[in-house]
Amino acid sequence: MELPEQPARPSFIDPRRPRPEDFLESLALTRTFPCLAEPGKIIVVGRPSRPLDEVLPYLATLPNVIAYNPEQQALTLRRQPGLVTFGSQRVSITQVNDAAEGLEFLAALAEAINATWEHRHELVPAVAPKQVPRPLDVWALLPQSNCRACGEATCMAFAFGLIHARRRPDECPPLRTEPAYADRRLALRAVF
Ligand code: SF4
């Protein structure tokens, strides 16, 4: 389904003077879309001043990576809340309040990309793909009691919330407190 698009003037969001060692000179906001995962919020799309191919293997070493496909130059990071997805020539951020906040996030992202590039010699670039956990795999690690203490109607709904970075494992009270779930708790915390 084609999403209705909200026009956004291209805006360069890194106002400081680029340094010669910077990977990116700029990350421009090019589009915004309604965010289906969170009604009332938007997705912002940014265009980097050069392809991200060389820096993606280093960004893929960050601890909040949930999916990485080196062949397709596609990387998804979890943020709280929402997701950041990188392609070779595109960045998108979900669950943003408005375009002004999107500009701030893109500016912070440009700085993070440049900082990662600056420190790349201290990192081992990622070469293996990493997959998003499947909902059933996540559900299997939850208590599966549908007790609703987390505010979701079912444990499966909570599993989707984890995958879409709307929820955190500790928001399931039984998982957080009951010793019987200690192993599952550790497993989910390692992923989310
Ligand atoms: S609190 Fe935990 S066990 Fe209860 S419905 Fe939510 S995810 Fe399932």
CA 142 to ligand 1 centroid distance, Å: 7
CA 87 to ligand 1 centroid distance, Å: 34
The boundaries of the domain holding residue 34 are 11-122
What pLDDT sits at residue 36?
66
Contact by Cβ (8 Å): 55, 113: yes
Which residue from 169, 164, 186 is spatially nearest to 67, judged by alpha carbons? Answer: 164
What is the rounded distance in angstroms from the CA atom of residue 69 to the CA atom of residue 85? 11
Residue 58 token pair: 């280093």
Closest-CA residue, ligand 1 atom 2, reads: 172
What pLDDT sits at residue 37?
61
CA 152 to ligand 1 centroid distance, Å: 7
Q: What is the CATH number of the domain that holds 85?
A: 3.30.310
Counting from 1 in the atom list of ligand 1, the atom nearest the Cα of 157 is: 7
Ligand 1-lining residues (CB < 6 angstroms): 142-143, 145-150, 152, 155, 158, 172-175
Residues 109 and 175 in one domain: no
Residues 111 and 141 in one domain: no
What is the rounded distance in angstroms from the CA atom of residue 117 to the CA atom of residue 148? 44
Tokens 């389904």 belong to 1
Which residues make Cβ contacts (< 8 Å) with residue 101, sequence separation at least 6? none
Residues 23 and 99 in one domain: yes
Residue 2 lies in a domain: no
Residue 96's CB is within 10 A of a number of other CB atoms, namely 23
Angle at 107 between CA 65 and CA 14, to 5 degrees: 140
CA 179 to ligand 1 centroid distance, Å: 15
pLDDT tens per residue, range 3-30: 344 444 444 444 456 677 899 999 999 9
Threshold 0.75, pTM exceeds? no
Q: Tell me the pairing of strands 27-34 and 42-48.
A: antiparallel
Contact by Cβ (8 Å): 126, 70: yes
CA 133 to ligand 1 centroid distance, Å: 18
User: Last residue of a domain, which of 75, 91, 122?
Assistant: 122
Q: Domain total for the chain?
A: 2
What pLDDT sits at residue 79?
83
- Distances in Å between the Cα of 10 and the Cα atoms of 105, 110, 127, 152 are 15, 15, 33, 39
Which residue from 97, 3, 4, 9 is spatially nearest to 47, judged by alpha carbons? Answer: 9
Closest-CA residue, ligand 1 atom 8, reads: 155
* pLDDT (tens place) for every residue of the chain, 192 residues total: 333 444 444 444 444 566 778 999 999 999 998 876 667 889 899 999 999 999 999 999 998 887 888 988 989 888 878 889 899 999 999 889 999 999 999 999 999 999 999 999 999 999 988 877 789 888 988 999 999 999 999 999 999 999 888 899 999 999 999 888 887 888 788 777
Residue 3 lies in a domain: no
